[in-house]
Structure 1
Amino acid sequence: MSILTERSAGQVSSDVAPSVRRRTRRQSPHRGHLAVRGVTVAGVLAVLVFWWVGTPPAVGATPGGALTSTGELAGLVAAYLVCLQLLLVGRVPWFERAVGMDRLVAWHRSLGTTVLLLVLTHVALMVVGGAMLDQQALWPEVLSLLATQPEMLSALVGTAIFLVVGMSSARLARQRLSYEVWFVLHLSVYVGIYLTFGHQVAAGTHFVGSPVARAVWTAMYVATAAALVTWRVVLPLLAHRSMMLTVDQVVPEGSGMVSVWLRGRHVDRLAARGGQFVLVRFLARGHLWTAHPYSLSMVPTDEHLRITVAALGDHSTSTAAMRPGTRVVVEGPFGLFTADQALSDRTLLVAGGAGIGPVRALAEDLVLRGHDVVVLHRSHTPEGLALSRELGGAQGLRYVPLPGRRRELGHDPLSPAVLQQIVPDIAHRDVFVCGPEGLVSTVVRSARALGVPRASIHHEELSLS
């Protein structure tokens, strides 16, 4: 009997009849998005007011003065957005619960591009505007700024670090870099922030003569650092001390996938839900300095936590050789890919590749809630149907494996026609999908073509890069 069957036996009947569609209470994601955007806009407006009040009217009387003043504004906004950018991926609960970690990561990337453009604009306008005010060429103006402005050399190094980090985040570069290299490069951004901060308070015209402005600006950086240390360092270490998680066993699941069982105490205090993920840091050589996101493949018990990992990179591949007894630190849980998002008590779950992990855990949660659950499991080969033994024998759900390549099958198993045949009432179900990007796109298109409302289609990207 599978884990899922054991938990559902006696609680959910295997012949639960589909009920009429009903609305369940959940937090509106749209409201959360508006709240985070509101915080962002309010901060930018505050910076704009601060710049406006602190800029003498006479500054705009000349083109050079107007350019340098605009350059100062670009620098101030960039500094604020850097702090916000760090907070978005700083594991701060309010942000994560408002929009979900995948959306926060996407916004973090977008802000990174914005910050880089603002920094370059700041540098360009300060040089050009200064050259116009000093009536000299650009290169002599650059040398003059470096020689006369306080902390300018530090700011130059910090700006160079921002450029390197920004280029490493470009899609082409990201495809060529391993996660470990990308992670180390991004750690260097903290050095860049430190180096540029000194220049801001020492040379910024809005701070030189205003101790209050310097104090408020410094407080913004200190508060950001405190939030990062609290939620990314202190709380995970306290949780580790409480749970004392270690690797219990590593179980091969076929086609390069393994399930890693973690044992500890009071693990259920994580309050993790099916479909969520945790950041896992194995305290072992080669894993100590990076934490990777892995979805839970079962709802945690009092003593056990399980992740199912596909060999997609150096870290995930070496996880298969992890020794029992290895200590583990986890952060989380994160994600909104949970049963709380369902608008109906009839659900269709579609999984492919490593997506079977969160789908299996989500199926467990939904069955325990009394939902009518159908699971479609897509794989190129029968051997790739990881965890099929658990799902195939579970009560309260219908498991449909879909192995085979499209060219071999002669059709797409996730096309609207096939989905309609397998799940005739799909238009009245919530659809949860997790897997490779192409699979997710196909399922979303097919579900929309079959009349599933957009609000009833749920998917989440599992990435922090």
Structure 2
Amino acid sequence: MRTVQLFWGLVLLNVAVVWTLFFTIAPEPKHALVGVGQFLGLHAALLMILQLTLVARLPWLDRRVGMDRLTSWHRWTGFTLFWVVLLHPLFVMAGYAAVSHSSTWQQFRNLAGMLGSLVGMIALVVVVVAAAASLRSVRRRLQYETWHAVHVLLYAAVALVLVHQLFEVSAFTAAPVATAYWWALWVFALGALLVGRIAMPLWRNARHRLRVAAVVPESDDVVSVHISGRDLDRLPARAGQFFIWRFPGYARWWQANPFSLSAAPDGRTLRLTAKAVGGASAALRHVPVGSRVFAEGPYGAFTSLRRTRDKTLLVAGGVGVTPIRALLEELSGDVVVLYRVHSRADAVLLAELESLAHERGARVHLLAGRTGAGSPPFAPFAPDNLATTVPDVAERDIFVCGPPPMTEAVIRALRALKVPRSQIHAERFRLAA
């Protein structure tokens, strides 16, 4: 919690600095509407820098906040950026149109003829496309690889915004202190991105030299891939975390997928288990043994380090069982597992869960059936039903991973049962590019 407060405190501090610079040293705008547009432009640059920081995947921030929460922040920051970037040129064009007694369309044509404004407009188009691809109704229809490729284009938008800012002389370069401040922010954000997304993954992969050791089908549409490498005992991975996996030479470089570890790291091998939901994940069962593997990570705070109690409840839905299975292997004490599936045939890794539970004295409840079916309706995560299955649920840490509707249903039930928020840990299937 302290890390979250510190992070957003720093964000608000920078907002205050931007406001101070704008109202004290920025030149007087030619029109009030132009001033509003310039004010929004400053916030667009600040939001872009914030986005770079959120997607840099810095280990320090990820371990304390969690990739799931960082991705949620990224999503809301992205939609805020969309509206700010959209309104920024509209106000500027309206202001200049009022000053010159011309049409907004004429001002658009004038600005499009200037290099600094033109690159800003191109960046706006990229941001609009990425925002459209992130709408839930659109996102559900896109394969993960397509969605990821669209979001990679945002790095081109970042470069265009930086060029646009360099050509903007009203507020960014009005005084040496403003120039130094903005350059410091950009250097920090771009440096964090280069370290977190490029330098660290390259160093780790050169060190560990990951390769496919085995490919094991778990069902018709689920496969496990075993990964071997050097010095894996020095890789700081924990049960419950995930990596971004690439298989260069077999799949295209931009086909990267986030898959959780489905077994606790043992210092010798890593294992991922994936369901075929896209082209890359469906092709995993055909990856040749010995293929090179490139992995970014480990990421995520969905680990036993988040425990606050001796007792634990693990709740899995569908292929969300993968980090749950890994956690069960690592956890000690009183552990209960709830595994939600449509039918027993869908319960991949069930035999492993039951074997681990037998070894550790844990209990596994398979919750199979269609929600709402039968009489009374099947509703395993209704508060009363959950309390019946796990009477001491309020005394446990709860780790939840599964499809969003199931995860939200579990969290609602836990809140209705007065389980403290500090004991609820959720991993959702979403990731920033």
Give the counterpart of 1:97 among 43, 53, 63: 63
Assess, with a 3 A threshold, how the Cα gap between structure 1 residues 143 and 387 changes in structure 2: closer, same or farther: closer
Assess, with a 3 A threshold, how the Cα gap between structure 1 residues 213 and 380 changes in structure 2: closer, same or farther: same
Give the counterpart of 2:14 among 20, 35, 43: 43
Structure 2 Cα separation of the partners of residues 287 and 150 of structure 1: 34
- Amino acid paired to 2:419: V
Structure 2 Cα separation of the partners of residues 156 and 223 of structure 1: 25
Aligned to 1:12: none
Assess, with a 3 A threshold, how the Cα gap between structure 1 residues 317 and 201 changes in structure 2: closer, same or farther: same
Aligned to 1:52: 23
Q: Are 2:406 and 1:436 aligned?
A: no
Structure 2 Cα separation of the partners of residues 89 and 377 of structure 1: 31
Specify the structure having the higher radius of gyration (Cα): 1
Alignment of 1:13-52 (within 5 A): 30-52=1-23
- Amino acid paired to 1:453: P
Assess, with a 3 A threshold, how the Cα gap between structure 1 residues 134 and 362 changes in structure 2: closer, same or farther: same
Contact 1:265-1:302 within 8 A present in 2 as well: no
Give the counterpart of 2:103 among 110, 117, 137: 137
Q: How high is the sequence identity, in percent, across the aligned residues?
A: 39
1:416, distance to aligned residue in structure 2 (A):
3.7
- Amino acid paired to 2:5: L
- Amino acid paired to 2:101: Q
Tell me the secondary structure at the aligned position of residue 433 of structure 1.
strand
1:408, distance to aligned residue in structure 2 (A):
5.8
1:209, distance to aligned residue in structure 2 (A):
5.4
Aligned to 1:330: 295
Assess, with a 3 A threshold, how the Cα gap between structure 1 residues 447 and 125 changes in structure 2: closer, same or farther: closer
After TM superposition, what 4+ stretches of structure 1 lie above 6 angstroms from structure 2?
none
Where do 5+ consecutive residues of structure 2 fail to align?
Answer: none
Contact 1:267-1:303 within 8 A present in 2 as well: yes
Alignment of 1:47-86 (within 5 A): 47-56=18-27, 59=28, 65-86=31-52
1:244, distance to aligned residue in structure 2 (A):
0.8
Contact 1:255-1:384 within 8 A present in 2 as well: no
Aligned to 2:72: 106
Aligned to 2:171: 206
1:438, distance to aligned residue in structure 2 (A):
2.3
| More displaced stretch, 397-406 vs 119-128 | 397-406
1:223-255 per-residue CA deviation (whole Å, 9 max, x = no partner) reads: 322221211111111111111111111112225
Give the counterpart of 1:387 among 346, 349, 355: 349
Structure 1 Cα separation of the partners of residues 254 and 102 of structure 2: 49
Assess, with a 3 A threshold, how the Cα gap between structure 1 residues 448 and 151 changes in structure 2: closer, same or farther: closer
Structure 1 Cα separation of the partners of residues 380 and 171 of structure 2: 62
- Amino acid paired to 2:260: S
1:3-43 per-residue CA deviation (whole Å, 9 max, x = no partner) reads: xxxxxxxxxxxxxxxxxxxxxxxxxxx32221221121111
Q: Are 2:85 and 1:119 aligned?
A: yes
Structure 2 Cα separation of the partners of residues 90 and 268 of structure 1: 25
Assess, with a 3 A threshold, how the Cα gap between structure 1 residues 195 and 412 changes in structure 2: closer, same or farther: closer
Contact 1:377-1:401 within 8 A present in 2 as well: yes
Q: Are 2:347 and 1:376 aligned?
A: no
Contact 2:311-2:334 within 8 A present in 1 as well: yes
1:198-235 per-residue CA deviation (whole Å, 9 max, x = no partner) reads: 23222331345545543542343233222212111111
Aligned to 1:154: 119
The count of aligned residue pairs is 427
TM normalised by structure 2 equals: 0.92
Structure 1 Cα separation of the partners of residues 107 and 385 of structure 2: 68
Aligned to 2:255: 290
Give the counterpart of 1:267 among 232, 240, 250: 232
1:292, distance to aligned residue in structure 2 (A):
1.4
1:256-289 per-residue CA deviation (whole Å, 9 max, x = no partner) reads: 2221110112213222222111111122333422
Assess, with a 3 A threshold, how the Cα gap between structure 1 residues 146 and 386 changes in structure 2: closer, same or farther: closer
Assess, with a 3 A threshold, how the Cα gap between structure 1 residues 146 and 381 changes in structure 2: closer, same or farther: closer
- Amino acid paired to 1:44: V
Structure 2 Cα separation of the partners of residues 163 and 132 of structure 1: 27
Structure 1 Cα separation of the partners of residues 68 and 7 of structure 2: 14
Aligned to 1:9: none
1:428, distance to aligned residue in structure 2 (A):
1.9
Give the counterpart of 2:216 among 237, 247, 251: 251
Contact 2:37-2:89 within 8 A present in 1 as well: yes
Aligned-residue RMSD, C-alpha? 2.2
Structure 2 Cα separation of the partners of residues 209 and 243 of structure 1: 49
